Amino acid sequence: MMKNINKISQEILAKLPLFRLKDLIKAVRACKTAAEERAVIQKESANIRTAFKNENPDTRHTNVAKLLYIHMLGYPAHFGQMECLKLVASPKYADKRLGYLGIMLLIDEKTEVLTLVTNSLKNDLNHSNMFIVGLALCTMGNISSSEMARDLCSEVEKLMGSSNTYIRKKAALCALRVILRVPELHENFISRSKSLLNDRSHGVLITGITLVTEMCEQNPENVVIFRKAVPLLVRHLKNLASAGFSPEHDVTGVTDPFLQVKILRLLRILAKNDREASESMNDILAQVATNTESTKNVGNSILYETVLTIMDIQSEAGLRVLAVNILGKFLSNRDNNIRYVALETLNKTVGIETQAVQRHRNIILDCLRDGDISIRRRALELSFALINEGNVRVLTRELLAFLEVADSEFKQGMTTKISLAAERFAPNQRWHIDTMLRMLKLAGSFIREEVLAGFIRLVAQTSDLHQYTVQKLYAALKQDISQEGLVLASVWVIGEYGDVLVSSGNFEEEEGVVIEVTDYSVVGLLESILMGPYANQVTREYVMTALMKLSSRLSEGSAQNKIKELLLHYTVSMEVEIQQRAVEYTNLFSYDAIRPAVLERMPIPEARTIIQNTGSSDSPDTRRASSSGASRSGPSDQDLLLDLMGVGTSGGGGGGGDSSDNMMQSPMAATSPQPPKASNVDLLADLFGGGSGGGGNASPAMTASSPAPTQQNTSQNLMDLLGEDPAPSPKTPSNTTSNYGLDSLASLGNSLSSSASPSKTAPSAAAGYEAYTKNGLTVRLLPSRDRSNPDIINIQVLFSNNGSQGVIRDLQFQAAVPKSQRLQMNAASSNFIQPNTTEKQMMRINNPSQSAVKLRLRISYEVNGEKKDDIAQYGPFPEGAF
């Protein structure tokens, strides 16, 4: 019976108009589905529209109230904007209050109707009733546009000087909206703002400080004007800190924490980079930091703002230590929000007070085990910032322990930072290698290519630890082949120093296990990787190259046969790169005369680049790179052949095989690269057409004399090996192509030969285009378009020293190009330029869009004991330059 009565009452309500807001709320709450609610709202909206058309002033108030409720539910209510304006024009306070509320909800600063509100606001700002003035100020402070701010600025300024505390407070907040919309109007409020800082009312004082803070942040010139108010603000803060219980302003035992925070924030702005202002507030900051209770969140907010102020001004050293100790106390708080804030602040202050932050190292490391991922992330950043020469062993051990259990998203960044920290602060090379080995074991699959290349370079540099390193990697590889980074590093090192491993014989691991080492066992381990479930194309490329290297280092016949068998198996591989390598390597066994030279040990690799995007807004847009180790995931054909021959490119940036889509930029190498051995240079010259045949332009070292007959035969054999026809005549360039995709070797040889054997010549004033000249140093650019690829522009950079300033030392040259282009730089011939000589460096720009070539250059050098660092720009090149 009751259900039927409720149903009948709902049907009656649905048919009759809802005359009161309370009835509409009941009808909406009685709806059981969204469709029912929409039906009720649509019906009532139609009734409200009809009532608005009839213009009945008795029902306008109720209809607007119902319309605002409909707006709060998310339904359209814009048709009531004009009715709100009519309510504002009413002389009744209740109508004005509802009208202004409707204006704030239904109108924003982009609505055209807003222009009609300006006149009503102007009238109400001059009203005798302070509450009506307050309504107008509140409305303007919420929806004011730039035009309204200009029109009513004078009224707001006048009200800021009112004798009524209520009006002054709201006028200050309205002035804040005005300067946010029209910043140039801030000058109108400077004098009034000064008087607000002397106000006794906490409400007026907090709004005045907020206004002054915004004015100082928008216009730094105002800081000097308001800096005279520092003693007054210090006095206010002192009164608040030492005041007794005040029921009007007390918040859980702290007197007006909101005002204290606002004062501290303004003091931080006014005292920045000013010694006198900083000294005047040292005492009160120390008092607030020591007397504020930290057991409650209100006190913590004041302490946090105090710490920020101490760290941002020129405070005393003892005060900064006190601030760091407060943050350390925050770290022991159970509230994760407070701990997060402490870690975030310590990350910003660790560079200022490193020693004070070091005292809290243990609790920071404990945060690495926190359940909140954001806490762990901030603690990890701070842990890396704390590493130095004294604690590198302890912190690295803790970070490696965390790496073992860290989330996958942390591991790649951690491995990069651990490797950089180990490289920078390593106490000795053996510790450095051990650290990298453990990292490879724990997170080898998350190691970036640059880190892997840096480790390989480290191993190549430490010749006295070759046996130790190759044994460690061999033992690690026998235990685990699932970590890709560990596999790639181990395979490279074993292939390069396999003879050292075999000659050392069996060795004992730390656990007392004896590891057997024979020629066949080494090859068998590489075979297990090749056939294993974790092998991918890159891994197979590394293993095949390592096997080929071992063919010239191992003497056992069974091992040699096994290597040939494995390579022969992959000559029919479906992967073109693998098949190409297998065919070339298999053919190389037929040329025992040159095979040891081709497979000789590689020189120490050059440092390469890490690409970093910084989003520079300068023109042209550039992507910069920081110098570090870098590597390619899969070496190209050219790199493969050069690696086999033991000859590396002379440029810091490699041979352009980086898989990144970003532009590449490479700084000048710190030292001149080691020249390759004469036999290999001759071999490369013949191969690239710099000797008896081929169309490439060889360096002077390659073309100064004719190769010996034996060298001609060697190059002939190598050309046969690669599937190329010999040159028909020493004087006739041949345009032969490779059957295995090596047709670009000649173009690479051109760029290599230009920097492989640099010659020093006297500077020529007519050579190239001058990009920089200062302090006796002149930088000229000689562009030319690449013959094999019209999209590539070769630029030879000439560094000339006219001798006026003596020797130019430590020359570092960096360049950047627009985003649509890619830049590759080889190493310079030398970073020391003697008087009246010229050094060279080669750049290559890939410009597929054929856009204008613009260069931003950074040149740093030392002359007469003084360090110079200059920025220069050049471009575009004149028409027909290349």
DSSP-derived secondary structure for 803-869: STT--EEEEEEEEE--TTSEEEEPPPS-S-B-TTEEEEEEEEEE-TT-----EEEEEEEEETTEEEE
Distance between CA atoms of 270 and 227, rounded to whole angstroms? 6
Report CA Rg, the chain.
38
Instruction: Reply yes or no on whether the pLDDT at 428 is more than 60.
Output: yes
- The verdict on 128 and 88 lying in the same domain is no
Mean pLDDT value across residues 636-652: 37
pLDDT at 512: 67
Convert the pLDDT of each residue in 107-119 to its tens digit: 887 888 888 888 8
Confirm whether 73 is domain-assigned: yes
Mean pLDDT value across residues 260-266: 93
pLDDT at 820: 83
Instruction: Reply yes or no on whether the pLDDT at 335 is more than 90.
Output: no
Instruction: Reply yes or no on whether the pLDDT at 686 is more than 50.
Output: no
- The verdict on 176 and 97 lying in the same domain is no
Distance between CA atoms of 315 and 601, rounded to whole angstroms? 58
Residue 564 parent element (H or E): helix 557-569
Task: Provide CB contacts within 8 A for 356, sequence distance 6+.
Answer: 320, 321, 324, 325
Convert the pLDDT of each residue in 124-138 to its tens digit: 999 999 999 999 999
- The verdict on 139 and 202 lying in the same domain is yes
pLDDT at 17: 55
Task: Provide CB contacts within 8 A for 542, sequence distance 6+.
Answer: 487, 488, 491, 492, 495
Provide the H-helix boundaries in 74-189: 81-88, 93-106, 117-125, 130-143, 146-160, 165-181
Q: At which of 188, 219, 250 does a domain end?
A: 219
Residue 3 confidence class, pLDDT cut points 50, 70, 90: low
pLDDT at 709: 37
pTM greater than 0.85 (yes/no): no
Closest by CA position to 52, among listed 101, 20, 86, 100? 86
pLDDT at 242: 83
- The verdict on 162 and 99 lying in the same domain is no
SS3 content of the chain, % helix, strand, coil (to 5): 60, 10, 35
Greater confidence, 625 or 117?
A: 117
Contact indicator for 806, 799 with CB cutoff of 8 Å: no
Instruction: Reply yes or no on whether the pLDDT at 173 is more than 90.
Output: yes
In sequence order, the β-bridge partners of residue 822 are 846
Q: At which of 756, 775, 806 does a domain end?
A: 756
- The verdict on 6 and 84 lying in the same domain is yes
Instruction: Reply yes or no on whether the pLDDT at 519 is more than 60.
Output: yes
Confirm whether 647 is domain-assigned: no
Mean pLDDT value across residues 661-677: 35
pLDDT at 172: 94
Contact indicator for 52, 79 with CB cutoff of 8 Å: yes
In sequence order, the β-bridge partners of residue 857 are 815, 872
pLDDT at 65: 92
- Look at 7-11, 22-26, 273-277, 493-497 and tell me which has the smallest mean pLDDT: 7-11
Confirm whether 774 is domain-assigned: no
Total domains in the fold of the chain: 3
CA 378 to chain centre: 16
- The verdict on 1 and 99 lying in the same domain is yes
Strands 808-816 and 822-825: unpaired
The one-letter amino acid code at 787 reads R
What's the mean per-residue pLDDT of the chain?
79
Confirm whether 880 is domain-assigned: no
Confirm whether 83 is domain-assigned: yes
Greater confidence, 700 or 531?
A: 531
Greater confidence, 90 or 557?
A: 90
Confirm whether 624 is domain-assigned: no
- The verdict on 26 and 64 lying in the same domain is yes
pLDDT at 2: 54
**Alpha-carbon distances, residue 375 vs 335, 342, 365 (angstroms):** 11, 10, 11
pLDDT at 137: 94
- Look at 378-382, 562-566, 785-789 and tell me which has the smallest mean pLDDT: 785-789
Distance between CA atoms of 96 and 100, rounded to whole angstroms? 6
Closest by CA position to 144, among listed 120, 177, 192? 177
- Look at 340-349, 441-450, 625-634, 779-788 and tell me which has the smallest mean pLDDT: 625-634
pLDDT at 517: 85
Q: For residue 742, give its domain range.
A: 688-756
Instruction: Reply yes or no on whether the pLDDT at 44 is more than 80.
Output: yes
b/e string for 557-585 if b means 16 or more Cβ within 10 A? eebbebbeebbeebbebeeebbebbbbbb
Residue 607 confidence class, pLDDT cut points 50, 70, 90: low
- Look at 428-432, 576-580, 606-610, 796-800 and tell me which has the smallest mean pLDDT: 606-610
Asked if the peptide bond before residue 533 counts as cis, ω within 30 degrees of 0, the response is no
Distance between CA atoms of 35 and 32, rounded to whole angstroms? 9
Instruction: Reply yes or no on whether the pLDDT at 711 is more than 90.
Output: no
Distance between CA atoms of 198 and 567, rounded to whole angstroms? 88
- Look at 150-159, 263-272, 593-602, 632-641 and tell me which has the smallest mean pLDDT: 632-641
Instruction: Reply yes or no on whether the pLDDT at 788 is more than 60.
Output: yes
- The verdict on 128 and 102 lying in the same domain is no
- The verdict on 100 and 5 lying in the same domain is yes
Confirm whether 578 is domain-assigned: no
* CATH (domain of 209): 1.25.10.10
- The verdict on 101 and 142 lying in the same domain is no
Instruction: Reply yes or no on whether the pLDDT at 683 is more than 50.
Output: no
Instruction: Reply yes or no on whether the pLDDT at 626 is more than 60.
Output: no
Contact indicator for 801, 808 with CB cutoff of 8 Å: yes
Residue 216 confidence class, pLDDT cut points 50, 70, 90: very high
Distance between CA atoms of 590 and 587, rounded to whole angstroms? 6
Q: At which of 161, 187, 219 does a domain end?
A: 219
Confirm whether 25 is domain-assigned: yes
- The verdict on 21 and 67 lying in the same domain is yes
Contact indicator for 662, 677 with CB cutoff of 8 Å: no
- The verdict on 16 and 87 lying in the same domain is yes
Instruction: Reply yes or no on whether the pLDDT at 608 is more than 70.
Output: no
